Amino acid sequence: MIPIEERFPRPTVMGVLNVTPDSFSDGGVHLEPGTAAAAARRMIEGGAAIVDVGGESTRPGSDGVSVDEELRRVVPVLDRLGGEVPVSVDTSKAAVAQAALERGAILVNDVTALRGDPELAGVVAGGDAYLCLMHMQGEPRTMQVEPRYDDVAAEVASFLGERLAFAVAQGIPEERICLDPGIGFGKTVEQNLELVRRLDVLLALGRPVLVGFSRKSSLRRLTGSDDLLGASVAAAVAAFERGATILRVHDVRPHVDALTVAGAIA
C-alpha cells in the first residue's frame, strides 16, 4: 500500500456525503441511496479525489445513532457505488467500518480518533485502510457548551501525537495515517481560526493534515451570511497555504478550482 501522502498529494479535495436526516448543512439531501451514489459520482467528476460517506451526524448537540441504523444508511450507497469511486467512511464504529471496507472503502475517518470503539483499530489494521484521526474536546452533544484550552494548537497537537502513537501501537502503519484538528469539535470561532493560523504546530507531527472547515458555523459567525460557499473556499485555501494536504468540503468544484490555482501559485 502506498503512503497516504502519495495516494493523496497536496492539495487533495475530499467530498462530503452525509447520508443522514440531520447533518450540519446537507442533512436529508442524500437519504435515498441512488441520489447519494449519484452525488458521490458527481463529486469525483468535479475533481474530488475521494468521497467521505457518513451515516451519523456529529453536529453540535446531536445524539449518536445505532450500528444498525448507520449500516442501513451507508451500505446501500456503497453497494450502488460498487467500489468504482474512492470512498472514505466517516464512522467511529468497527462494524460500519468493516462493512465499508468490504465494499471497497479505502479510508476510515474516525472523529473519535480510536477512542469510540475498541474494535476499530483492528478493523483498520486488518483491512489495510488509510485512517484519519481527528481531535474533539468532549462529545457532540455537549462539546460547544464551553470549550477551554490554555494553548489550543499545542493541546490539539499533543492529543493527536498521542493518538497517532496509539494507532501505530495497534498495528496501523504511520504512513497510512493523517491527522485533523477537528474544526468545530469543541472549539470557539477564535480557537478554530488559531488552529489554522498555527497549523505548523500540527505539521510538526510529521503526518499529512486534513482540514474540514466547509460550511461550519464559525464561518457564519464571521460573515453573518447564510451562503457559506465563499467563506468555505477562503478557509480551505488558507488551510492549504499553511500546509494542509486534504480539504474536506461539501461544494467540490469551486474548491477544486480555488485549490488548483492556489497550488499552482505555491
Site for ligand HH2 in 225-254 (CB under 6 A): 248
Q: Does 58 bind ligand HH2 (CB under 6 A)?
A: yes
Site string for ligand HH2, 121-150 (x = CB under 6 A): -----------x-x----------------
Size of the site for ligand HH2 (CB under 6 A): 22
Residue with cell 449518536: 64
Q: Is 248 one of the catalytic residues?
A: yes
Site for ligand HH2 in 201-220 (CB under 6 A): 210, 212, 215
Bridge partners of 247, per DSSP, are 13, 211
Residue nearest to ligand HH2 according to CB distances in the complex: 212
Burial 97-136 (b: 16+ CB within 10 A, else e): bbbbbebebbbbbbbbbbbbbeebbbbbbebebbbbbbbb
Q: Which one of the spans 64-72, 79-87, 162-170, 179-187 is the region binding ligand HH2 (CB under 6 A)?
A: 179-187
Query: CA–CA separation, 249 vs 15, rounded Å?
Result: 5
Site for ligand HH2 in 60-89 (CB under 6 A): none
Selecting among 216, 221, 242, 253, the annotated active-site residue is 216
- Please report, to the nearest 10 degrees, the dihedral formed by the alpha carbons of residues 197, 195, 172, 100 taken in order: -110
C-beta of 114: minimal distance to ligand HH2 in Å? 13
Residue 207 CB: number of other CB atoms within 10 A?
22
Residue type at position 238:
A
Query: CA–CA separation, 218 vs 214, rounded Å?
Result: 10
Q: Residues with catalytic annotation? A: 216, 248
Which residues of the chain form contacts with ligand HH2 (CB under 6 A)?
16, 18, 20, 23-25, 54, 57-59, 90, 109, 111, 132, 134, 180, 182-183, 210, 212, 215, 248
